[in-house]
Amino acid sequence: MKYVDEFRRGDIARGMAAHIRTLVQPGRQYRLMEFCGGHTHAIARYGLTGLLPENIRLIHGPGCPVCVLPIGRVDSAIELALRPDVILCSYGDTLRVPASNKMSLYQARAKGADVRMVYSTKDALQIARDNPHKQVVFFAIGFETTTPPTALALLQARQEKLANFSVFCNHVLTPPAMRHLLAAGDAVELDGFIGPSHVSTVIGSAPYAAVATEFAKPVVIAGFEPLDVLQAVAMLVEQINAGRTEVETQFSRAVTLQGNDKARERVAQTMTLRDSFEWRGLGQVPHSALAIHPDFAEFDAELRFTLPYRHVADHKACECAAILRGQKQPQDCKVFGIVCTPDNPLGSCMVSSEGACAAHYHYGRFVQGATA
Amino acid sequence: MCLAMPVRISQLLPDDMAVVDMDGVSREVSVALIDAPQEGDYVILHVGYAIGKLDAEEAARTLALMDQLAAGEQA
Ligand code: SF4
Protein backbone atom coordinates (compact mmCIF):
# COMPACT_ATOMS: atom_id res chain seq x y z
CA MET A 1 0.00 0.00 0.00
CA LYS A 2 1.40 3.40 -0.96
CA TYR A 3 2.47 5.60 1.97
CA VAL A 4 2.59 2.50 4.15
CA ASP A 5 4.98 -0.12 2.73
CA GLU A 6 7.80 2.36 2.05
CA PHE A 7 7.72 3.36 5.69
CA ARG A 8 8.06 -0.23 6.91
CA ARG A 9 11.27 -1.38 5.16
CA GLY A 10 13.29 -3.54 7.53
CA ASP A 11 16.71 -2.83 6.02
CA ILE A 12 16.20 0.90 6.35
CA ALA A 13 14.96 0.43 9.92
CA ARG A 14 18.17 -1.39 10.84
CA GLY A 15 20.28 1.30 9.17
CA MET A 16 18.43 4.04 11.00
CA ALA A 17 18.80 2.22 14.30
CA ALA A 18 22.55 2.01 13.68
CA HIS A 19 22.53 5.74 13.00
CA ILE A 20 20.72 6.39 16.28
CA ARG A 21 23.37 4.36 18.12
CA THR A 22 26.03 6.73 16.80
CA LEU A 23 24.01 9.74 17.99
CA VAL A 24 23.38 8.80 21.63
CA GLN A 25 25.87 10.00 24.18
CA PRO A 26 26.99 7.29 26.58
CA GLY A 27 25.97 7.91 30.17
CA ARG A 28 23.01 10.01 29.10
CA GLN A 29 19.41 8.88 29.48
CA TYR A 30 16.81 9.65 26.83
CA ARG A 31 13.32 9.21 28.27
CA LEU A 32 10.85 9.77 25.46
CA MET A 33 7.11 9.60 25.89
CA GLU A 34 5.06 8.45 22.93
CA PHE A 35 1.85 10.29 23.74
CA CYS A 36 -0.32 8.33 21.34
CA GLY A 37 -1.60 4.81 21.53
CA GLY A 38 -1.04 4.56 17.78
CA HIS A 39 2.68 4.86 18.45
CA THR A 40 2.51 2.43 21.37
CA HIS A 41 0.94 -0.07 18.99
CA ALA A 42 3.57 0.49 16.25
CA ILE A 43 6.46 0.26 18.73
CA ALA A 44 5.13 -3.03 20.10
CA ARG A 45 4.17 -4.50 16.74
CA TYR A 46 7.53 -3.81 15.08
CA GLY A 47 9.65 -4.48 18.15
CA LEU A 48 11.26 -1.04 17.87
CA THR A 49 12.48 -1.04 21.46
CA GLY A 50 14.74 -3.96 20.63
CA LEU A 51 16.39 -1.92 17.87
CA LEU A 52 17.19 1.07 20.05
CA PRO A 53 20.19 1.51 22.36
CA GLU A 54 19.54 0.80 26.02
CA ASN A 55 19.74 4.37 27.19
CA ILE A 56 16.70 5.31 25.09
CA ARG A 57 13.54 4.51 27.01
CA LEU A 58 10.14 4.79 25.41
CA ILE A 59 7.37 5.57 27.88
CA HIS A 60 3.70 5.12 27.02
CA GLY A 61 1.45 8.13 27.30
CA PRO A 62 -2.29 8.56 27.78
CA GLY A 63 -3.18 9.03 24.10
CA CYS A 64 -5.55 6.10 23.81
CA PRO A 65 -9.18 7.24 23.56
CA VAL A 66 -10.92 4.35 25.26
CA CYS A 67 -8.17 4.07 27.90
CA VAL A 68 -8.73 7.56 29.30
CA LEU A 69 -12.51 7.37 29.38
CA PRO A 70 -13.41 7.33 33.08
CA ILE A 71 -15.77 4.71 34.46
CA GLY A 72 -18.31 7.38 35.44
CA ARG A 73 -18.87 8.42 31.84
CA VAL A 74 -19.31 4.81 30.68
CA ASP A 75 -21.77 4.29 33.57
CA SER A 76 -23.77 7.26 32.28
CA ALA A 77 -23.77 5.79 28.77
CA ILE A 78 -24.97 2.45 30.13
CA GLU A 79 -27.71 4.18 32.09
CA LEU A 80 -28.84 5.89 28.91
CA ALA A 81 -28.69 2.70 26.89
CA LEU A 82 -30.90 0.89 29.40
CA ARG A 83 -33.74 3.36 28.84
CA PRO A 84 -36.36 1.68 26.67
CA ASP A 85 -36.73 4.72 24.40
CA VAL A 86 -33.01 4.98 23.61
CA ILE A 87 -30.74 3.50 20.95
CA LEU A 88 -27.14 4.14 21.93
CA CYS A 89 -24.49 4.14 19.18
CA SER A 90 -20.73 4.18 19.52
CA TYR A 91 -17.46 2.96 18.00
CA GLY A 92 -16.65 -0.70 18.55
CA ASP A 93 -13.94 -0.49 21.20
CA THR A 94 -16.06 1.77 23.39
CA LEU A 95 -18.60 -0.99 23.87
CA ARG A 96 -16.04 -3.21 25.63
CA VAL A 97 -14.78 -0.71 28.23
CA PRO A 98 -15.38 -2.13 31.70
CA ALA A 99 -17.57 0.05 33.93
CA SER A 100 -19.13 -0.31 37.38
CA ASN A 101 -20.65 -3.59 38.63
CA LYS A 102 -18.84 -5.66 35.99
CA MET A 103 -20.91 -3.95 33.32
CA SER A 104 -19.97 -2.72 29.86
CA LEU A 105 -22.11 -1.52 27.00
CA TYR A 106 -21.91 -5.03 25.52
CA GLN A 107 -23.26 -6.46 28.75
CA ALA A 108 -25.98 -3.84 28.76
CA ARG A 109 -26.93 -5.13 25.32
CA ALA A 110 -27.19 -8.64 26.73
CA LYS A 111 -29.58 -7.18 29.30
CA GLY A 112 -31.82 -5.90 26.53
CA ALA A 113 -30.40 -2.43 25.90
CA ASP A 114 -30.38 -1.34 22.26
CA VAL A 115 -26.65 -0.67 21.76
CA ARG A 116 -25.33 -0.41 18.22
CA MET A 117 -21.75 -0.45 17.04
CA VAL A 118 -21.13 2.09 14.30
CA TYR A 119 -18.16 2.59 12.01
CA SER A 120 -18.90 6.25 11.36
CA THR A 121 -21.13 9.07 12.63
CA LYS A 122 -22.97 8.71 9.32
CA ASP A 123 -24.23 5.33 10.49
CA ALA A 124 -25.56 6.90 13.70
CA LEU A 125 -27.44 9.54 11.69
CA GLN A 126 -28.94 6.82 9.50
CA ILE A 127 -30.13 4.90 12.56
CA ALA A 128 -31.83 8.12 13.74
CA ARG A 129 -33.55 8.56 10.37
CA ASP A 130 -34.68 4.92 10.38
CA ASN A 131 -36.04 5.06 13.94
CA PRO A 132 -37.98 8.33 14.27
CA HIS A 133 -39.80 7.08 17.37
CA LYS A 134 -36.62 6.35 19.28
CA GLN A 135 -34.04 8.64 20.85
CA VAL A 136 -30.75 7.93 19.08
CA VAL A 137 -27.71 8.96 21.12
CA PHE A 138 -24.20 8.94 19.71
CA PHE A 139 -21.71 8.24 22.52
CA ALA A 140 -18.84 10.35 21.17
CA ILE A 141 -15.32 9.68 22.41
CA GLY A 142 -11.84 10.33 21.09
CA PHE A 143 -9.15 12.92 20.56
CA GLU A 144 -8.95 15.72 18.01
CA THR A 145 -8.88 13.18 15.17
CA THR A 146 -12.32 11.82 15.94
CA THR A 147 -13.90 15.15 16.85
CA PRO A 148 -14.44 16.66 13.36
CA PRO A 149 -16.65 13.74 12.24
CA THR A 150 -18.84 14.36 15.31
CA ALA A 151 -18.98 18.06 14.41
CA LEU A 152 -20.17 17.20 10.90
CA ALA A 153 -22.86 14.92 12.32
CA LEU A 154 -24.16 17.79 14.48
CA LEU A 155 -24.27 20.11 11.48
CA GLN A 156 -26.05 17.48 9.43
CA ALA A 157 -28.58 16.80 12.20
CA ARG A 158 -29.34 20.53 12.36
CA GLN A 159 -29.77 20.73 8.61
CA GLU A 160 -32.15 17.77 8.54
CA LYS A 161 -33.90 18.78 11.79
CA LEU A 162 -33.25 15.29 13.13
CA ALA A 163 -34.98 15.91 16.42
CA ASN A 164 -34.46 12.40 17.79
CA PHE A 165 -30.65 12.56 17.46
CA SER A 166 -28.26 13.74 20.16
CA VAL A 167 -24.59 13.46 21.08
CA PHE A 168 -23.14 12.48 24.46
CA CYS A 169 -19.89 14.37 24.03
CA ASN A 170 -16.68 13.05 25.60
CA HIS A 171 -14.10 14.43 23.20
CA VAL A 172 -10.73 15.22 24.78
CA LEU A 173 -7.76 17.37 23.83
CA THR A 174 -4.09 16.43 23.54
CA PRO A 175 -2.04 19.56 24.43
CA PRO A 176 -3.76 20.16 27.82
CA ALA A 177 -3.10 16.52 28.77
CA MET A 178 0.60 16.91 27.90
CA ARG A 179 0.84 20.01 30.07
CA HIS A 180 -0.99 18.26 32.90
CA LEU A 181 1.43 15.31 32.80
CA LEU A 182 4.42 17.62 32.99
CA ALA A 183 2.97 19.90 35.66
CA ALA A 184 1.85 17.12 38.04
CA GLY A 185 3.65 16.95 41.38
CA ASP A 186 4.52 13.30 40.81
CA ALA A 187 5.27 13.85 37.13
CA VAL A 188 7.15 11.16 35.30
CA GLU A 189 10.59 12.40 34.26
CA LEU A 190 10.73 12.94 30.53
CA ASP A 191 13.26 14.33 28.10
CA GLY A 192 10.94 14.71 25.14
CA PHE A 193 7.71 13.76 23.40
CA ILE A 194 6.99 11.78 20.27
CA GLY A 195 3.95 13.82 19.23
CA PRO A 196 0.73 12.44 17.71
CA SER A 197 0.33 11.89 13.97
CA HIS A 198 -3.29 12.22 13.01
CA VAL A 199 -4.28 14.50 15.88
CA SER A 200 -1.67 16.90 14.52
CA THR A 201 -2.99 16.56 10.98
CA VAL A 202 -6.13 18.19 12.38
CA ILE A 203 -4.75 20.70 14.93
CA GLY A 204 -1.38 21.42 13.31
CA SER A 205 1.98 21.68 15.03
CA ALA A 206 1.44 25.16 16.50
CA PRO A 207 -0.46 24.09 19.68
CA TYR A 208 2.57 22.19 21.01
CA ALA A 209 4.79 25.28 21.09
CA ALA A 210 3.60 26.22 24.57
CA VAL A 211 4.46 22.75 25.91
CA ALA A 212 7.91 22.89 24.35
CA THR A 213 8.79 26.33 25.67
CA GLU A 214 7.01 26.37 29.02
CA PHE A 215 8.30 22.96 30.11
CA ALA A 216 11.50 22.99 28.06
CA LYS A 217 10.76 19.67 26.37
CA PRO A 218 11.31 18.93 22.70
CA VAL A 219 8.33 17.59 20.74
CA VAL A 220 8.70 15.75 17.42
CA ILE A 221 5.41 15.01 15.65
CA ALA A 222 5.83 11.59 14.10
CA GLY A 223 3.97 9.36 11.66
CA PHE A 224 2.62 6.00 12.81
CA GLU A 225 4.84 3.75 10.69
CA PRO A 226 7.99 2.19 12.17
CA LEU A 227 10.47 4.24 10.10
CA ASP A 228 8.61 7.40 11.15
CA VAL A 229 9.06 6.52 14.81
CA LEU A 230 12.77 5.79 14.35
CA GLN A 231 13.35 9.05 12.52
CA ALA A 232 11.50 10.96 15.24
CA VAL A 233 13.65 9.29 17.89
CA ALA A 234 16.77 10.39 15.99
CA MET A 235 15.43 13.95 15.79
CA LEU A 236 14.67 13.98 19.52
CA VAL A 237 18.12 12.64 20.41
CA GLU A 238 19.69 15.38 18.31
CA GLN A 239 17.57 18.06 20.01
CA ILE A 240 18.37 16.71 23.48
CA ASN A 241 22.11 16.52 22.71
CA ALA A 242 22.06 20.11 21.48
CA GLY A 243 19.90 21.35 24.37
CA ARG A 244 17.16 22.44 21.96
CA THR A 245 13.47 22.29 22.96
CA GLU A 246 11.61 22.84 19.72
CA VAL A 247 8.53 21.50 18.03
CA GLU A 248 9.62 19.65 14.89
CA THR A 249 7.51 17.71 12.43
CA GLN A 250 8.76 14.40 11.11
CA PHE A 251 5.27 13.61 9.71
CA SER A 252 5.54 16.51 7.27
CA ARG A 253 3.64 14.61 4.60
CA ALA A 254 0.41 15.26 6.51
CA VAL A 255 1.03 17.92 9.17
CA THR A 256 1.27 21.67 8.69
CA LEU A 257 1.68 24.47 11.21
CA GLN A 258 -2.01 25.35 11.29
CA GLY A 259 -3.55 21.93 10.60
CA ASN A 260 -6.83 21.32 8.81
CA ASP A 261 -8.71 24.67 8.92
CA LYS A 262 -11.94 23.21 7.65
CA ALA A 263 -12.00 20.57 10.38
CA ARG A 264 -11.03 23.00 13.12
CA GLU A 265 -13.74 25.46 12.06
CA ARG A 266 -16.47 22.79 12.14
CA VAL A 267 -15.39 21.82 15.64
CA ALA A 268 -15.30 25.44 16.87
CA GLN A 269 -18.78 25.96 15.47
CA THR A 270 -20.37 22.98 17.22
CA MET A 271 -18.36 22.43 20.40
CA THR A 272 -17.03 24.45 23.29
CA LEU A 273 -14.25 24.01 25.87
CA ARG A 274 -15.19 22.48 29.23
CA ASP A 275 -13.74 24.01 32.40
CA SER A 276 -12.54 20.62 33.50
CA PHE A 277 -12.95 16.94 32.63
CA GLU A 278 -12.03 13.72 34.36
CA TRP A 279 -9.55 11.47 32.59
CA ARG A 280 -8.92 7.95 33.73
CA GLY A 281 -5.45 7.98 35.23
CA LEU A 282 -4.97 11.74 35.12
CA GLY A 283 -7.97 12.81 37.20
CA GLN A 284 -9.54 16.21 36.58
CA VAL A 285 -7.67 18.06 33.84
CA PRO A 286 -8.59 21.73 33.31
CA HIS A 287 -9.69 22.83 29.83
CA SER A 288 -9.01 19.38 28.42
CA ALA A 289 -12.30 18.38 26.81
CA LEU A 290 -15.18 19.62 24.68
CA ALA A 291 -18.91 19.88 25.32
CA ILE A 292 -21.64 20.61 22.78
CA HIS A 293 -21.76 24.31 21.94
CA PRO A 294 -24.78 26.21 23.37
CA ASP A 295 -25.87 26.94 19.77
CA PHE A 296 -26.34 23.19 19.34
CA ALA A 297 -27.88 22.60 22.78
CA GLU A 298 -30.88 20.83 21.26
CA PHE A 299 -28.54 17.98 20.23
CA ASP A 300 -26.74 17.75 23.57
CA ALA A 301 -27.57 14.44 25.27
CA GLU A 302 -26.33 15.83 28.60
CA LEU A 303 -29.12 18.42 28.46
CA ARG A 304 -31.77 16.22 26.90
CA PHE A 305 -31.41 13.52 29.56
CA THR A 306 -30.50 13.92 33.19
CA LEU A 307 -27.05 12.40 33.47
CA PRO A 308 -25.57 13.07 36.87
CA TYR A 309 -21.82 12.41 36.89
CA ARG A 310 -20.26 10.22 39.55
CA HIS A 311 -16.58 9.59 39.95
CA VAL A 312 -15.96 5.84 40.22
CA ALA A 313 -12.61 4.38 41.27
CA ASP A 314 -10.87 1.84 39.01
CA HIS A 315 -10.69 -1.83 39.95
CA LYS A 316 -8.30 -2.20 42.88
CA ALA A 317 -5.87 -4.45 41.03
CA CYS A 318 -5.77 -2.32 37.88
CA GLU A 319 -2.67 -0.20 37.28
CA CYS A 320 -4.07 1.69 34.28
CA ALA A 321 -3.90 5.00 36.13
CA ALA A 322 -0.15 4.74 36.73
CA ILE A 323 0.40 3.32 33.23
CA LEU A 324 -1.46 6.23 31.65
CA ARG A 325 0.74 8.66 33.58
CA GLY A 326 3.88 6.88 32.36
CA GLN A 327 4.80 5.68 35.83
CA LYS A 328 4.24 1.97 35.44
CA GLN A 329 4.31 -0.66 32.74
CA PRO A 330 1.75 -3.35 31.99
CA GLN A 331 4.08 -6.03 33.40
CA ASP A 332 3.91 -4.24 36.75
CA CYS A 333 0.24 -5.17 37.02
CA LYS A 334 -0.27 -8.40 38.97
CA VAL A 335 -3.27 -9.49 36.95
CA PHE A 336 -1.80 -8.68 33.51
CA GLY A 337 -2.40 -11.58 31.16
CA ILE A 338 -3.81 -13.71 33.98
CA VAL A 339 -7.14 -12.30 35.08
CA CYS A 340 -7.02 -9.42 32.60
CA THR A 341 -6.84 -10.31 28.90
CA PRO A 342 -8.13 -8.67 25.71
CA ASP A 343 -11.06 -11.12 25.70
CA ASN A 344 -11.91 -10.27 29.25
CA PRO A 345 -10.45 -6.86 30.08
CA LEU A 346 -10.46 -5.73 33.68
CA GLY A 347 -9.16 -2.28 32.87
CA SER A 348 -9.45 0.05 29.91
CA CYS A 349 -5.80 -0.28 28.79
CA MET A 350 -6.52 -3.89 27.75
CA VAL A 351 -9.48 -2.99 25.52
CA SER A 352 -8.29 -1.46 22.25
CA SER A 353 -5.23 -2.25 20.18
CA GLU A 354 -3.76 1.13 21.14
CA GLY A 355 -3.94 0.41 24.84
CA ALA A 356 -0.55 -0.27 26.42
CA CYS A 357 -1.70 -3.51 28.09
CA ALA A 358 -3.29 -4.87 24.91
CA ALA A 359 -0.18 -3.95 22.88
CA HIS A 360 2.06 -5.76 25.37
CA TYR A 361 -0.27 -8.73 25.43
CA HIS A 362 -0.41 -9.12 21.64
CA TYR A 363 3.26 -8.50 20.95
CA GLY A 364 4.94 -10.21 23.87
CA ARG A 365 8.43 -9.71 22.49
CA PHE A 366 8.09 -6.10 23.55
CA VAL A 367 9.87 -6.47 26.87
CA GLN A 368 11.18 -3.01 27.58
CA GLY A 369 11.74 -2.42 31.25
CA ALA A 370 11.39 -6.09 32.11
CA THR A 371 14.09 -7.03 34.57
CA ALA A 372 16.92 -7.86 32.23
CA MET B 1 -9.40 4.12 17.17
CA CYS B 2 -6.97 6.72 15.91
CA LEU B 3 -5.68 4.06 13.58
CA ALA B 4 -6.36 5.80 10.31
CA MET B 5 -4.95 4.83 6.93
CA PRO B 6 -3.84 6.45 3.68
CA VAL B 7 -6.22 5.87 0.77
CA ARG B 8 -6.47 7.17 -2.81
CA ILE B 9 -9.49 9.11 -4.04
CA SER B 10 -10.58 7.32 -7.21
CA GLN B 11 -13.82 9.17 -7.89
CA LEU B 12 -15.55 12.25 -6.51
CA LEU B 13 -19.28 11.90 -5.81
CA PRO B 14 -21.97 14.49 -5.02
CA ASP B 15 -22.57 15.68 -1.43
CA ASP B 16 -18.90 15.76 -0.43
CA MET B 17 -18.57 12.02 -0.86
CA ALA B 18 -15.90 10.11 -2.76
CA VAL B 19 -14.94 6.58 -3.71
CA VAL B 20 -11.55 5.66 -2.30
CA ASP B 21 -9.32 2.77 -3.08
CA MET B 22 -7.91 0.85 -0.13
CA ASP B 23 -5.53 -1.78 -1.40
CA GLY B 24 -7.85 -2.73 -4.23
CA VAL B 25 -11.06 -2.46 -2.18
CA SER B 26 -13.42 0.42 -3.02
CA ARG B 27 -15.33 2.27 -0.39
CA GLU B 28 -17.48 5.40 -0.17
CA VAL B 29 -16.25 7.96 2.33
CA SER B 30 -16.82 11.61 3.17
CA VAL B 31 -14.40 14.25 1.92
CA ALA B 32 -16.32 17.10 3.58
CA LEU B 33 -13.30 17.97 5.73
CA ILE B 34 -10.90 18.27 2.78
CA ASP B 35 -10.21 21.48 0.90
CA ALA B 36 -10.69 21.03 -2.86
CA PRO B 37 -10.33 17.24 -3.04
CA GLN B 38 -9.19 15.89 -6.42
CA GLU B 39 -9.29 12.46 -7.96
CA GLY B 40 -5.87 10.89 -7.45
CA ASP B 41 -5.26 12.66 -4.13
CA TYR B 42 -4.13 10.53 -1.22
CA VAL B 43 -5.92 11.27 2.04
CA ILE B 44 -5.89 9.92 5.59
CA LEU B 45 -9.11 8.04 6.27
CA HIS B 46 -10.49 7.90 9.80
CA VAL B 47 -13.92 6.61 10.89
CA GLY B 48 -15.36 7.15 7.41
CA TYR B 49 -13.97 10.66 6.89
CA ALA B 50 -10.88 11.90 5.10
CA ILE B 51 -9.20 14.10 7.70
CA GLY B 52 -6.19 15.39 5.79
CA LYS B 53 -4.31 15.24 2.51
CA LEU B 54 -0.97 13.55 2.02
CA ASP B 55 1.69 15.65 0.34
CA ALA B 56 3.58 13.54 -2.21
CA GLU B 57 6.60 15.85 -2.31
CA GLU B 58 7.01 15.90 1.45
CA ALA B 59 6.68 12.11 1.56
CA ALA B 60 9.41 11.74 -1.07
CA ARG B 61 11.66 14.12 0.87
CA THR B 62 11.15 12.16 4.12
CA LEU B 63 11.90 8.85 2.39
CA ALA B 64 15.06 10.25 0.79
CA LEU B 65 16.23 11.48 4.18
CA MET B 66 15.56 8.08 5.74
CA ASP B 67 17.51 6.32 2.98
CA GLN B 68 20.38 8.71 3.44
CA LEU B 69 20.55 8.21 7.21
CA ALA B 70 20.31 4.45 6.92
CA ALA B 71 22.84 4.19 4.08
CA GLY B 72 25.38 6.43 5.72
CA GLU B 73 25.51 4.15 8.68
CA GLN B 74 25.58 0.90 6.77
CA ALA B 75 28.44 1.93 4.50
S1 SF4 C 1 -3.43 -5.56 32.77
FE2 SF4 C 1 -5.62 -5.07 32.96
S3 SF4 C 1 -5.94 -4.70 35.11
FE4 SF4 C 1 -3.73 -4.58 34.75
S5 SF4 C 1 -3.33 -2.43 34.33
FE6 SF4 C 1 -3.67 -3.37 32.38
S7 SF4 C 1 -5.85 -3.07 31.99
FE8 SF4 C 1 -5.55 -2.69 34.20
CA-based nearest distance B37→chain A, Å: 12
Going from the Cα of A228 to the center of ligand 1, the distance in angstroms, rounded, reads: 28
A243-260 residue pLDDT tens: 999 999 999 999 999 999
CB contact under 8 A, A2 and B71: no
pLDDT of residue B1: 54
Q: Is A175 exposed, middle or buried (0-12, 13-18, 19+ CB in 10 A)?
A: buried
**DSSP labels for A296-335?**
GGGGBHHHHS-------PPPTT--HHHHHTTS--GGGSTT
A323 lines ligand 1 (CB under 6 A): yes
CA-based nearest distance B45→chain A, Å: 10
pLDDT surpassing 90 at residue A144: yes
pLDDT of residue A119: 93
pLDDT of residue A364: 72
CATH number assigned to the domain comprising residue B52: 2.30.30.140
In the structure, what pLDDT confidence band is assigned to residue A365 with cuts at 50, 70 and 90? very low
Whether pTM exceeds 0.90: yes
Going from the Cα of A274 to the center of ligand 1, the distance in angstroms, rounded, reads: 29
B44-60 residue pLDDT tens: 999 999 999 999 999 99
ipTM: 0.92
Quote the CA–CA distance of A55 and A53 in Å, as a whole number.
Answer: 6
A358 lines ligand 1 (CB under 6 A): no
- Judge whether B22 and B16 are in contact, CB under 8 Å: no
In the structure, what pLDDT confidence band is assigned to residue A307 with cuts at 50, 70 and 90? confident
Among A69, A71, A320, name the best residue to mutate to test ligand 1's pocket (greatest count of ligand atoms within 8 A of Cβ).
Answer: A320
A11-52 residue pLDDT tens: 999 999 999 999 999 999 999 999 998 899 899 889 999 999
Determine how many CB atoms are found less than 10 A away from the CB of residue A154: 30
Q: How many domains does chain B have?
A: 1
Provide mean pLDDT across the span A131-157.
Answer: 97
pLDDT of residue A184: 82
Query: Per CB distance under 8 Å, which residues of B are interface residues toward A?
Result: 1-6, 8, 22-23, 30, 32-35, 42, 44, 46-49, 51-56, 58-59, 61-63, 65-67, 69-74
Report which secondary-structure segment, H or E, holds B21: strand B17-22
The mean-pLDDT minimum among A84-93, A199-208, B2-11 falls in B2-11
pLDDT of residue A309: 84
Residues from chain B that touch A231, judged by Cβ atoms under 8 A, are 62, 65-66, 69
pLDDT surpassing 60 at residue A238: yes
Please give the residue of chain B at the shortest CA–CA distance from A227: B66
Quote the CA–CA distance of A310 and A73 in Å, as a whole number.
Answer: 8
Q: Tell me the average pLDDT of chain A.
A: 93
Please give the residue of chain A at the shortest CA–CA distance from B71: A15
pLDDT of residue A370: 39
Among A41, A121, A125, A145, the residue to mutate for chain B (most B Cβ within 10 A): A145
Provide mean pLDDT across the span B5-26.
Answer: 93
Quote the CA–CA distance of B66 and A7 in Å, as a whole number.
Answer: 9
pLDDT of residue A314: 86
CB contact under 8 A, A199 and B52: no
A265-279 residue pLDDT tens: 999 999 999 999 999
Q: Following CA atoms A123, A126, A127, A129 in sequence, which dihedral angle do they give, to the nearest 10 degrees?
A: 160
The mean-pLDDT minimum among A82-91, A358-367, B7-16 falls in A358-367
pLDDT of residue A372: 29
**Domains of chain A, CATH where assigned:** 5-64+174-249 (3.40.50.11750), 67-173+259-304 (3.40.50.11740)
pLDDT surpassing 50 at residue A113: yes
Q: Determine the structural domain holding residue B58 and report its residue range.
A: 5-74
Residues 6+ apart with CB under 8 A from A335: A317, A318, A346
